[in-house]
Amino acid sequence: MRSKSRRPLAVRLYALLTRLLPAEPGGGYADDATTLFEELHADAVRKHGWTAGWTLWAHSAALLIGCAIRERSETGTGRRRGGGPMGTVLQDVRYGVRTLAKRPTFAMTTILILGVGIGATTAIFSVVDAVVLRPLPYPDAGRLVHFTRGSHSFPAFRAWLRVSSFESLAAMRDYDVALTGGGTPLRLRAVAVSPDFFRTFGGAPHLGRLFDAGDYPGDQSVAVLDAGLWQRYWGGDPSVVGRTIVVDGQPAVVVGVLDPIFRTPERETGNQVDIWFALDDGGVSADDHDYHELGVIGRLAPGVSLEVAQAEVDAQQQAFAEQFPSDYVTRAGVIAQVPLVLLCEATVRQVSSTLLTLLGAVGLLLLIACANVANLFLAHGTARTREMSLRAALGATRLRLAGQVLTESVLLSLAGGALAVVLAFGGVELFARFNPGGIPRIDTLAVDVRALAFSALVAMLTGILFGMLPAVQAMGADVDDALKDGAQALTVSRGGRRLRSGLVVAATAPSYLGSRRRGALLGKIERRDCFGNTGPSALDSMEGRAPWLCPMRIRRMTLTRAERS
């Protein structure tokens, strides 16, 4: 039996909707319907793919909502007129639904704007949060620094080990190996690591042990398995520790399995590691500075700043330059430096500026959405001034009028919010599904509930605030004027006109800014696409990866580039 947390998104959303069904003494049939939907959804996805799954969801969800409305009307939930405050609210809800149904264009536009505004902002913020903002999952991750400028030589690494600014240094070299000896050979991603690697990152064994001093210099005779490979290939069998496996035709003893919670730096940059070996540096002589094959990451000693460590590394490079000028001095006579960068910056540097630009763009989108919703409500409110004045003239209290308008605003906001939830979850799922690879930390992607709540709150408050306007106007309006026939009765006060003009400016300005920003964003993509590629291939791959990008725009970008060159 599948656990509820592992159910597909469509099933979870369906289960959420079953809460619309009225509560019944026997428990109702919400769970039964969800279980059946899960089975039918699995059938549809298996036979016709995931689009069929979502089509089934849309169909079943619509019928479920209809079913819930009929159930509630049959059980008499909405039949109590004048039954205290609750009866008033229900009456307002019924009246509100009828009013909105009479103006479907207004209702649908508002719901769509709210949904897209909130949903897109949440989806992009969730991606930015998962990829850029969330700290790396290591103890004291702010002390981890990356030695940039590609890979480094063994002698350089040995010399850096003596730099006092670092508490520990980790070197790693990745390569492919073949696991044989048990049926079909399996190609694995292997990483050979220096003795302090796991200490630097705080890695721990799930089973057995990690490498110790006796395993060095390594020769691929002892191996630590990644938890993923252990589950995939050995089905989580604990007896694998101590067993001899055949890697590249050579026997290797499995000494341990890595803790599944531990996320390696490779995994943080979107790559999987299957098996770990102790690093072998026996064959490299002390003055062979030409052979670069190690990635190096260091942990700063407590209280040591990046600048101090950089100065020490620079001094070391200076010493190398004097000793081995052919390896460390460029043709221009400049000493090759190794800039140190905080690991968190190095991990996401390729994509952070693009994603943050995108976040800025969708922030503007939310602003535009709010301004547009406010404008729609104002226009709607002006059109209803007569109705409100009439109701006031017939004896409706201010509280009653305000309550009615508030109910309509809340109804629209809730519908927009529901659409936003679907768009946010769907958007994030699409982003993860179409990930072309190379985006760091994409596997931790999930909808950020705080962002969803924030966007929803901002958009809903806008709706409620501006939705109240007809009631406020009705309170101040002259009933005689308002009830006169003809359009002149529906004039707007000077204050109202100013407010609407302001909102038009508020809606247009971000649109303009957004278009300018989008230009900058596309310019950035032209130079380097969001996956770090540069040059003409970056744009070519963009065409393949972003079919939704207007072909005209791509052509224009291509032309511009051709003109420049």
Partner 1 sequence: MTDVASLIPLNPRDYLILFSLVEQDRHGYGIVKKMEALSRGSVRIDPANLYRSLKRMTRNGLVEETLPPQTAEAGMERRKYYRIRPLGREVVELEALRLAELTAAARALELIPGGEPA
Question: Which residues lie near partner 1 (CB under 8 A)?
Answer: 1, 18, 21, 29, 32-37, 39-40, 59-60, 63-64, 67-68, 70-71
- Closest distance of CB 74 from partner 1, Å: 10
Degrees to nearest 5, angle at CA 157 with 155 and 161:
115
- The least distance separating partner 1 from the CB of residue 42, rounded to whole angstroms, comes to 10
Identity of the residue, 63 or 334, whose beta carbon is nearer to partner 1 in the bound complex: 63
Under DSSP, the state recorded for 131 is I
Residue 93: closest CA among 400, 398, 385, 404: 404
Give the β-pairing of 205-208 and 250-258.
Answer: antiparallel
Q: How far is the CB of 72 from partner 1 (least distance, A)?
A: 12
| H-type alpha helices, 84-185 | 84-102, 104-128, 154-161
Between 63 and 261, whose beta carbon lies closer to partner 1?
A: 63
Of 1 and 562, CB closest to partner 1 = 1
Phi, psi (deg, nearest 5) at residue 238: -70, -20
d(CA 528, CA 442): 20
- When the beta carbons of 71 and 314 are compared against partner 1, the nearer one is 71
Segment holding 382, helix H or strand E: helix 343-383
Q: What backbone torsions phi and psi does residue 4 show, to the nearest 5 degrees?
A: -65, -35
Q: At residue 387, what are phi and psi to the nearest 5 degrees? A: -60, -45
Tell me how far, at minimum, the Cβ of 414 lies from partner 1, in Å: 20
Q: For partner 1, give the closer residue by CB, 40 or 97.
A: 40
**Residue 64 or 557 having the CB closest to partner 1:** 64
Burial 347-382 (b: 16+ CB within 10 A, else e): bbbbbbebbebbbbbbbbbbbbbbbbbbbbbbebbb
Question: Whose structure tokens read 């070299």?
Answer: 173
What does the alpha-carbon distance between residue 203 and residue 200 come to, in Å, rounded to a whole number? Answer: 8
Smallest distance, Å, CB 378 to partner 1? Answer: 39
Smallest distance from the beta carbon of 35 to partner 1, in angstroms? 7
From the CB of 107, what's the least distance to partner 1, in Å?
24
Cβ at position 29, least distance to partner 1 in Å: 4
Residue 59 or 516: which CB sits closer to partner 1?
59
Nearer to partner 1 by Cβ, of 68 and 90: the residue is: 68
Minimum separation from the CB atom of position 24 to partner 1 (A): 9
Alpha-carbon gap, residue 336 to 152, rounded angstroms:
12
Residue with tokens 């990644």: 226
Is 66 or 325 the residue whose CB approaches partner 1 more closely?
66
**CB burial of residue 31 (10 Å; 0-12, 13-18, 19+):** exposed
**Rounded alpha-carbon distances, angstroms, from residue 23 to 34, 36, 405:** 15, 19, 28
- 539 with 531: CB under 8 angstroms? no
